[in-house]
A and B are shown apart, each in its own frame.
Chain A
Amino acid sequence: MHHHDSTSRHTDLAESTVRLRRRQSAGAVLAVAALAVVAALPLSTSQAGTTPDPWLRPEAVPAPPDNPPNDARVHLGRVLFFDPRLSGSNAVSCASCHNPGLGWSDGLPTAMGKGARLLKRHTPTVVNTAYNPIQMWDGRKRTLEDQALGPIESPDEMDMALETLVPKLSALSEYRALFEAAYPGEGINSKTIAKAIASYERTVVSGLAPFDRWRLGETHAISASAQRGFEVFQNQGNCTKCHSGFNFTDNGFHNIGVNSTSGEDDAGRHAILKLPSMKGAFKTPTLREIAITGPYMHNGIYRTLEEVVEHYDRGGDTKTNLSPDMKPLNLSAQQKADLVAFMNTLTSPPTVVALPRLPTR
């Protein structure tokens, strides 16, 4: 019951991994046989069966050595994630903005903060943040543990001082029991709160999308248009310069020339790393679940993926400090449609996320 959704996802992936391994061994046998006949077989072909597919999510989810996940930690993290009493107003939980029903984001151009005030950036999805070596649009947090406390403490967001939160949770015996089960002897403090939330977030990973099933050999799992779109994505579209690998991100920072929506310039990464190239640079987001995590870009300027493709096709808008890797793409209408069709194959099947009962005494 604790992590119903993630268990089913893991099972899907485990099954597909088994299938992949079977395919790999079959491929290896074929490759050996072929080698005997055609000595000049290209290396990539002979190795294709043994190299893991870089576009498929690895089954293992990384976790820091001092916080390996277990059921008690994930359960406590889930309880904290959905508990609005973690905010100063008692009305805002992590899930208010990272809503599982909206792709673990909020469906808004930019986040709605304390007092329903709009903040300046789009809420990033939680999906696959477990794989990110650096967090936030501007990379100001390294780990999920570091990140978890940020929005809780921020006066613009949940506005809850940790020195208030710790006694508030400690007053409830059910919370005391949950913390003791998850982190025996460590008590309720900012560290264990952060570790538990991070442990839960590490279960929020992308499931088996049509794209993955296609990579695993299901020829018709995605349309011909989407297959062409994946070619455009890797070649003329220039997309893999940044959106590379199974999580479709280089975990890097780029100024892609997005116009301001507020009239004010957002310094982006430059607020953290004072190098000229970082002015207006933002972290490359994952494209996993991209069809359900709009609006798009750091300020949510685009409502649709079609608009995003147009942005890149014209080589960005604001040219100040634009990355030299941005340039007009001259894509045809068909190529643009194919790219969108491809991105739509990165949505995994919907899962039911179990809401925990929250401590009341």
Chain B
Amino acid sequence: MIRSSIHCIIPVAALCVALATPAFAAEHTVSQKSKAFSTKSLNIKVGDKVVFRNDDAVSHNVFSLADAMTFDLGTYSAGQVKDVVFSKAGTFDIECAIHPDMKLTIVVAK
């Protein structure tokens, strides 16, 4: 509860109200710039949404082949935004298919 309200107030309160679904889903943003993710690790809860924003001059392709849930956001260019709702708990190794040096670990707790 506390965690969820912190995440809502700090970014954009109005947006969070609009997006607030039954649970206490939070939204996290990860930027891609200079061929790197803005963070190397992220701890979230089941049902949270992660927004992957491409702030780079080049295209990226965020994906994960984690056992719990695989996803592939496909190639998208500078300025574009894609998101993933993490519906399963577990540890997700996130990479960019185009740039294997880009790595991010997301730990999704129940």
Contacts and interface: CB of A to CB of B under 8 A. Distances in A.
B99 A324 contact: no
Interface of A: 133-134, 139, 241-242, 244, 250-254, 269, 273, 275-278, 281, 323-325
A283 to B, nearest CB: 9
B75 A253 contact: no
A241 B74 contact: no
B99 A252 contact: yes
Nearest to B72: A275
B64 to A, nearest CB: 11
Nearest to A241: B58
Nearest to B97: A275
B100 interface: yes
Interface residues of B, number: 15
Interface in B26-82: 35, 57-59, 61, 63, 72, 74-75, 77
Contacts of A275: 61, 63, 72, 74, 97
Contacts of A323: 59, 75, 98
Nearest to A276: B74
B101 A133 contact: yes
Closest 4 CB pairs of A and B: A252-B99, A277-B75, A277-B61, A275-B97
Given A276-B72, A324-B75, A251 B100 contact: yes
A253 B74 CA distance: 14
A134 B96 CA distance: 14
Given A281-B98, A323-B59, 16 more contacts: A134-B100, A250-B99, A251-B99, A252-B35, A252-B98, A253-B98, A275-B63, A275-B72, A275-B74, A276-B72, A277-B74, A277-B97, A277-B98, A278-B97, A324-B77, A325-B58
A250 B58 CA distance: 11
Contacts of B77: 324-325
Contacts of B75: 277, 323-324
B89 to A, nearest CB: 24
A253 B59 contact: no
Contacts of A134: 100
Contacts of A139: 100
A347 B97 CA distance: 31
Contacts of A242: 58
B99 A325 contact: no
Contacts of B98: 252-254, 277, 281, 323
A247 to B, nearest CB: 12
Interface in B95-110: 97-101
Contacts of A251: 99-101
A241 B100 CA distance: 15
A275 B97 CA distance: 8
B72 A325 contact: no
